[in-house]
Amino acid sequence: MTRRETAFYTLLLLLLGAGWGLTFPLSKIAVSTGHRHFGLIFWDVMIGAVFLGLVLFLRGGRLPMSPRHLRLYAIIALLGTLVPNSASYQAITHLPAGVVAIVVSLVPMLAFPIALGLGLDRFSPRRLLGLSAGLSGVLLLVLPDASLPDPAMLVWVPLALIAPLCYAFEGNFVARWGTAGLDAVQVLLGASLMAAAASLPLAIGTGQFISPFRVYGPPEWALIASAIIHAITYAGYVWLVGRAGSVFAAQVSYLVTGFGILTSLIVLREAYSPYIWAALGLVLAGVFLVQPRRQESLAPDAPISETAR
């Protein structure tokens, strides 16, 4: 890459990280007046599906609907949206948004042992050190009494861990069995439509549906903004991977966590104990050590688990 290209891609990487990071305080605002997870998930995926559908249409593409593709959409919708987002929305109701941002960044560390079990990766002392650092970071979040603002929040940390665990399984599923020849936009669009079809009856049946015919306050605008940011940053990430490579683009994970904490400090005025800052350092060090160093090219079957959250 030329210097101009490097500067442009770096700026785009910063914008993507800032956008994704902002979705953490936005999610906290969205649940602040009682909106529940199924209602939030439905509108999040529907707004995202409209944007991704427009992208696919402008590209002249189509969305295959064969049985094997429908199975793929269902699995990605379950592991990438329905289960992790349900857990995250409930966890962020009770936990600081910055803490949830730290927990979600554990995806590479949780994905690595799963990849070892599936024979998709190799063991190395460096990555074992990364796993140890990540585990130490989590322990700093949950063990010291002075870590969380309220010790009663401790019971919600395991719920927050469900999301990165699901993303870890999702990424390994895609790496092992592929995406049936589809690109990332097609997979995400199909999964979004599948998640919308599943979450709508759940939202209505549980009384969690959020009517669009209402007075819009900060929670509703936060939901809309978060969904639009998700869709735009996802499309930008896919474009960046194709131009600058997946290793360069993967550095967005550090920025997402950092901006997630920074924007939570600014927007929500959250305050963190020294234990949480230490946990952040250990988790980011763990992510750096666990991630593979080798350059990978973008392929239709490349894992997509960490790109649309």
Q: Provide the residue-wise pLDDT of the chain in tens; the chain has 309 residues.
A: 688 888 898 999 999 999 999 999 999 999 999 999 999 999 999 999 998 999 899 999 999 999 999 999 999 999 999 999 999 999 999 999 999 999 988 888 888 889 888 888 888 888 889 889 988 998 998 888 878 888 889 999 999 999 999 998 988 898 888 889 888 889 999 999 999 999 999 999 999 999 999 999 999 999 999 998 988 887 788 788 778 876 677 778 788 899 999 999 999 999 899 999 999 999 999 888 887 654 443 333 344 444 344
- Least Cα distance to 39 among 89, 73, 79 occurs for 89
SS (H, E, C) 38-99: HHHHHHHHHHHHHHHHHHHHHCCCCCCCCHHHHHHHHHHHHHHHHHHHHHHHHHHHHCCHHH
Tokens of 110: 């949780």
* C-alpha atoms less than 13 angstroms from C-alpha of 97 in its C-beta half-sphere: 27
The span from the CA of 140 to the CA of 130, in Å, is 15
- Convert 86-101 to b/e letters by CB count within 10 Å (16 or more is b): bbbbbbbbbbbbbbbb
Q: Which of 31, 10, 46 lies closest to 255, judged by CA? A: 10
Q: What does the alpha-carbon distance between residue 102 and residue 91 come to, in Å, rounded to a whole number?
A: 13
Q: Are 97 and 268 in contact (CB under 8 A)?
A: yes
Report the distance separating Cα 66 and Cα 180, nearest Å. 10
Residue with tokens 């295959």: 64
d(CA 262, CA 25): 10
List the helix and strand counts (H, then E) for the chain. Answer: 13, 0
Query: What pLDDT is recorded for position 118?
Result: 87
Q: Are 172 and 120 in contact (CB under 8 A)?
A: yes
Q: Rounded to an integer, what distance in angstroms lies between the CA atom of residue 25 and that of residue 23?
A: 6
What tokens does 15 get? 């914008």
What pLDDT, on a 0 to 100 scale, did the predictor assign at position 266? 94
Contact by Cβ (8 Å): 189, 56: yes
The predicted structure's pLDDT at residue 293: 58
Asked if 269 and 221 count as a contact pair (C-beta separation under 8 A), the reply is no
Residue 300 contacts residue 182 (beta carbons within 8 Å): yes
CA distance 112 to 120: 9
